[in-house]
Amino acid sequence: MKLLRYGAAGAEKLGALDAQGNIRDLSLLVPDLTPEYLAPERLQALAAVNLEKLPVVDKNVRLGPPVAGTRQFMAIGLNYRAHAAEAGMEIPKEPVIFTKALTSLCGPNDDIIMPDNSVNTDWEIELGLVIGTKAQKVSEKDALKYVAGYCLANDVSERDWQAKRNGQWTKGKSFDSFGPIGPWLVTTDELPDPQKLEMELKVNGQVKQHSNTADMIFPVATIVSYLSQFMTLLPGDVVITGTPSGVGLGMKPQQFLKKGDVVELRIDQLGTQTQKVV
C-alpha cells in the first residue's frame, strides 16, 4: 500500500494511492498516519479497504511527510563505498550515526530554503524507512519485521555548518526544509526487499547521483538492528540510510545548490520528489 498525507502544512489528512495513481481520501476512516496506525495489524486493516469506493483527491494537492508524530529522525553516514571514497574517508567498520532535527522534516515537493549566506548547500538522495513496531535489541534476522515501510528522502546538507562549525554533523543537517520525505510510504508487504532499488538525483535536469541500494555497506536490516542495540526505536521514527556518490561536495570542482535550482529525485517504487531552492 502507498500511504500519503496531503494538504496544507500542519493540517494534512491521510490518503492512499490507488492502482490507477489517483489519491484517495482515507481521512474518514483514519484521521492521520500517527504512530499507533503503523502497527502491523492496523496496516493490514488499511490494506483491506476498497480504495475505489473512497473520494478522489485533486492530484495537484500539496503532499506532506507521509507519517505524522515522528519522535526521532535518525540518519546514517558514509553507507556507500564510492561516497566514502569521494569524501576522502575510510570505509566505516560500523554504521556512522547522526540525527536530523524533527523540524527539518517537510513534504517531498516543498521548497528547499537556503540558509542565510550559504554557498555550500548540498543534495543527498537516500532510502528512508519508518519504524512500525517498538524495537529494542533486535537481531538482524528479525529487524525488517519492525519496519512499517519505506520512502524516498533527500538529506539536504549545509557543508560549512556540517564540517567547519566545531563538529557534529547535525548542525549542517537540521535547517528547516532539509528533510523532504515522501511522496508516500510504501508498506513492506508491497516492498519486501529494500536492497535492490535503483535511485537517481538530478539538478537542473543533469544527473548527479545514480546508484542502487544493493551497494549499501550496511543494509537496512543491519541498520535497524544496530540502532536498536543502543536506543529504542519507536513507531513513526524515520531513519534515512545514507547516500551514494555524486554529491556536490565530492565533485572537482565542487558544486553546490543556488537559488532557483531544481532538484529531482527518484527511487524505484518509492516515487519522485521535486524541490526548488529558494
The overall pTM is greater than 0.85: yes
* Among 156, 144, 146, 151, residue whose Cα is nearest residue 219: 144
Contact 275, 112 (CB under 8 A): yes
pLDDT at 196: 96
Question: What phi and psi, each to the nearest 5 degrees, are found at residue 131?
Answer: -75, 135
> What are 74's three cell numbers?
535518525
pLDDT in tens, 214-231: 999 999 999 999 999 999
Q: Is residue 53 part of a domain?
A: no
89 has a pLDDT exceeding 90:
no
- Taking residues 159-176, report their average pLDDT: 93
pLDDT band with cut points at 50, 70 and 90 for residue 200: very high
pLDDT at 84: 83
> What are 94's three cell numbers?
560500523
> What are 180's three cell numbers?
523532504
Which CATH number is 82's domain given? 3.90.850.10
Using DSSP's 3-state secondary structure scheme, residue 224 falls into helix
Domain region containing 238? 67-276
Q: Is residue 264 part of a domain?
A: yes
pLDDT at 6: 98
pLDDT at 263: 98
Q: Is residue 50 part of a domain?
A: no
Interatomic CA distance for residues 271 and 40, integer angstroms: 23
pLDDT at 45: 96
The pLDDT > 70 percentage for the chain reads: 100
Interatomic CA distance for residues 156 and 176, integer angstroms: 10
Q: Is residue 270 part of a domain?
A: yes
126 has a pLDDT exceeding 90:
yes
Q: Is residue 184 part of a domain?
A: yes
The structural domain count of the chain equals 1
94 has a pLDDT exceeding 90:
yes
Cα of first residue to Cα of last residue in the chain, in angstroms, is 33
pLDDT band with cut points at 50, 70 and 90 for residue 16: very high
The mean pLDDT value of the chain amounts to: 96
81 has a pLDDT exceeding 90:
no
Q: Is residue 12 part of a domain?
A: no
Q: Is residue 144 part of a domain?
A: yes
- Taking residues 69-80, report their average pLDDT: 96
Q: How many CB atoms lie within 10 A of CB 44?
A: 12
Q: Is residue 179 part of a domain?
A: yes
pLDDT at 40: 97
> What are 32's three cell numbers?
492521520
